[in-house]
Amino acid sequence: MLLIRLLFKNAFLRHKLRSVLTVLGVTIAILAFGLLRTVITTWYLGVETSSPTRLVTRNNVSIIFPLPLSYREKIRQVEGVKIVSYGSWFGGVYKDKKNFFANFAVEPRTYLELYPEFIVPPDDKEAFLRDRRGFIAGKKLADRFGWKKGDIVTLEGTIYPGKWDFILRGIYRGRDLNIDETQFFFHWDYLNESVLKSKISLSDQVGFYMIGISSPGISAQVSQEIDAMFKNSAAETITETEKAFVQGFIAMSEAIIVAIQLVSLVVILIIMAVVANTMAMTTRERTGEYSILKTLGFGGGVIALLIMGESLLVTLSGCILGIALTYPIAGAFGTYLGTYFPVFNVENETVLLDFIAAVLVAFAAAVIPVRNALKLRVAEGLRRIG
């Protein structure tokens, strides 16, 4: 008990300003580290939430090139395929180009069946399926623009020119916290009928096929069979798991991710420098005290415990405060950057990494001060008193 009281006084009461500044420095560093790690985990969120029983088929040249609607029935006949849905990226703009959000034309019934993580109330789902002009929006997207069920929403087409009117028939919620609630889905048939009337060459063309399979273990086999079926056709395909499909997009920005990871490591080094400087100053000031403890019969283990414990107390105090601030600041960032990060939640893994980083820094910063204190001779230390 006496040792704990001594640790607390050494850490926080003997040099209050230094202690406050050190804790504040650790807090800011842990906060920055936590936010950077949250950016990284959010970036890979699509990979983590992808289903192993969903495949994506797209044009072999690029996803911007369409596929014929006639491929649907052929894909459905492949052994192991349970359900086939399809859709196209619409690329509509709401009022202003800065109001970006993902909007898709999909085959509604099969698409919702493939994505059970999108929770739609039964009444809303039925209303959506009955209304060719209806659409479903995520909860965050609806809240962002203040949309209510029954509202008419107009999107300005970019790929498909003109003004397109839709009626909000339902609002979906994510089954889990990490599900994107900022998407916009409407009937592919509504898009196709309008395209047919305007005689645009994109009629009866889809951007991608979403395929549900019976088991993750047959994904490679099914993918090969689908691609072989359309080999040497006018629109060859590439089929891959949903996870691989998402990773392909992330690979385009791999340099940014690497840069963020490097910055997060630099933040750890900054924490170590701050704490190491404090512990070095503390050890020099208490040289005489450690010598007196040695003369009273206290061994090196007690002195090492005092130095290590003080370093750990200061670092963990800043760590806990930094973690506590990470949640509200991440929430504010998520609101402000919702266009780019539909989900910006602090994961438990990030908090664990914060604690691990703090503990490692505390021990690393105290290693040299402990070694110097243990090597110190009693007579030499007593000479420094006063």
Tens digits of residue pLDDT in 186-222: 999 999 988 876 655 667 899 999 999 999 999 999 9
Mean predicted lDDT score pLDDT of the chain: 84
> pTM, whole model, 2 decimals?
0.73
Percentages of the chain per state (helix, strand, coil), in multiples of 5: 55, 15, 25
Mean pLDDT computed over 293-308: 72
Question: What are the residues whose beta carbons fall under 8 Å from the beta carbon of 290, sequence distance 6 or more?
Answer: 303, 373, 376, 381
Separation in Å, CA 159 to CA 91, 195, 295, 340, 371: 6, 11, 83, 21, 68
What single DSSP character describes residue 90? -
Which of 274, 245, 248, 250 minimizes the C-alpha distance to 260?
250
Identify the pLDDT of residue 239: 95
Is 276 in contact with 269 (CB distance < 8 Å)?
no
Tens digits of residue pLDDT in 235-249: 999 999 998 888 876
Could you give the 3-state DSSP secondary structure of residue 167? strand
Residue 306 neighbours by CB distance under 10 Å: 25
Q: Which residues of 198-230 are buried (b: 16+ CB within 10 A; e: fewer)?
A: eeeebeebbbbbbbbbeeeebbeebbebbbeeb
Tens digits of residue pLDDT in 53-96: 999 999 999 888 999 999 999 999 999 999 999 999 998 999 88
Angle, vertex CA 143, rays to CA 125 and CA 194, nearest 5: 55
Residue 329 pLDDT greater than 80, yes or no: yes
Residue 348 pLDDT greater than 80, yes or no: yes
Widest distance between CA atoms in the chain? 98
The whole-angstrom separation of Cα 210 and Cα 145 is 29
Residue 385 pLDDT greater than 60, yes or no: no
Identify the pLDDT of residue 45: 72
The pairing of strands 134-138 and 103-106 is: unpaired
Is 75 in contact with 211 (CB distance < 8 Å)?
yes
Could you give the 3-state DSSP secondary structure of residue 154? strand
Residue 318 pLDDT greater than 70, yes or no: yes
Residue 254 pLDDT greater than 80, yes or no: no
Mean pLDDT computed over 28-45: 84
Could you give the 3-state DSSP secondary structure of residue 133? coil
| Annotated domain spans of the chain | 2-45+253-383, 61-235
Could you give the 3-state DSSP secondary structure of residue 99? coil
Mean pLDDT computed over 27-45: 84
The residue count of the chain comes to: 386
Percent of the chain with pLDDT over 70: 86
The whole-angstrom separation of Cα 341 and Cα 42 is 7
